[in-house]
Amino acid sequence: MLTMVVAACGGTTPNNSPTLTRSGTITIWHNWEGTYLDAKKAIFDTYSKQYPNVTINLVHKPDLTSAVTTAVPAGQGPDVIAWVDDVVGKFVKLEIIKPIDGIDGVDMSYMNANFSKAAVDADTFDGKIYGMPETVEAITMIYNKDLITADKLPKTTDDLLALAKSYPQAHTGMYGVVWNTRNDAYFNAPWIYGFGGYYVKADGTDGLTTAGTKAGFNYISSFRGSIPAGVDYGVADTLFKEKKAAIIINGPWSVADYGKAGVNFGLATLPTANGKAVSPFVGVKTLMVSANAANPALAVDVIKWFDNKDNEIAQSVANKEIPANKLALADPTVQAIAEVKGFGAQVANGVPLPNTPFMGALWDPVAKALEAVWTGKQSVDSALNDAHTAAQNNIAQLK
């Protein structure tokens, strides 16, 4: 990882844009962890070796959105925010990030020449470029080949539920499938959208009380008793690492650690619902420049380095990610990675993670509704009615 070919940044800087001076400190707030972080840190370390007058500080923030929305309006926070595209619209409205058009040669021609259309669209809001895409991702089924064979994998949502109920009966102390069923809107989106529901439209219309969303919630709740009652991301992740779950539903950020844990894993697309592929969110990991960045030209330069072809190839090889850089994605080395192929097949079935600011109004109400249903405190109808009211109150504050 430390021996990388340096791709030239290219482009000319317009007279009215900040002048690039490779000297100073760039602080990046992120949510990367474990082996996944190691590969990224190596890239930034190589930049600092190439330009020794630049120091790059990586700061892990578990609750990144809350940390940023508190710090930046107070005149604090990082120079660069590494997160997912669904926050773009919200961060623009709150003046947390700034457009990078015209800085260090960045324009739509540059973006379209280097990145996939979906990734460019994710980082564009109101006609301006607000970020540079890192990777494209979606969750899918990851299975332990030593616990379940490919021919036994569920093909339909009914099959998945049947496996969840039967596997623990045949394997004491083990589970057929795990994911955060309890309170995570992102991890449960495949079932909401797969059964015909949705969270929110670009105009702020929410779909929480639609028949499709209710059907998705009912499906999720049907796993009660077959998945640990206190399940969350960490519990599910640990069960799979400890080889106590045959299948986990997770994303490409997880597989490096599963390999490290000695799990003999494979990938398969999520099952169909009513004859149609279910639809996970397709997210675009993005690096954005904070409104408080003291040296925006340097911040953009660091981001361009991080997202260039050779470094995206290195990340893909190390972490099995799908590069947003289309030149890296086309490289034979990347195309030969089974994980890229596997997650790529799921991306094809997904729906874009909305970058509208109204998406931010849905996460918490949906999470609370999921937990109310999962714990048995409320019926699906009651929980979703409350979530609809909360979502609409949140949306009204954004309009």
C-beta neighbour count of 382 within 10 angstroms: 13
Task: State residue 352's pLDDT score.
Answer: 84
Non-local CB neighbours of 20 within 8 Å, separated by 6+ positions: 13, 104, 297, 298, 301
Q: Find out whether 207 and 198 touch, Cβ atoms under 8 Å.
A: yes
Residue 227 half-sphere exposure, CB side, CA atoms within 13 Å?
A: 30
Task: Give the amino acid at 117.
Answer: K
Q: What is the pLDDT of residue 132?
A: 96
- pLDDT for 399 equals 78
Per-residue confidence (pLDDT) for residue 372, from 0 to 100: 98
Domains 24-137+283-352 and 140-281+356-398 belong to one CATH topology:
yes
CA gap 78, 59 in Å, rounded: 9
Report strand pairing: 132-137 vs 281-289.
antiparallel
Report the CATH number of the 24-137+283-352 domain.
3.40.190.10
Residue segments in the chain with a per-residue pLDDT below the cut of 70: 1-17
The answer to whether 129 touches 101, Cβ cutoff 8 Å, is: yes
Q: How far apart are CA 257 and CA 172, in angstroms?
A: 25
d(CA 177, CA 60): 29
First to last CA, the chain: 46
Spell out the domain ranges in the chain: 24-137+283-352, 140-281+356-398
pLDDT tens-place string over residues 205-262: 999 999 999 999 999 999 999 999 999 999 999 999 999 999 999 998 899 899 999 9
pLDDT tens digit string along 8-46? 333 333 435 678 999 999 999 999 988 889 999 999 999
The domain made up of 140-281+356-398 has a fold known as D-Maltodextrin-Binding Protein; domain 2 (3.40.190)
Half-sphere exposure at residue 252, Cβ-oriented, CA atoms within 13 angstroms: 29
Give the pair of three-digit tokens for residue 53.
């007058």
**CA–CA separation, 141 vs 343, rounded Å?**
9
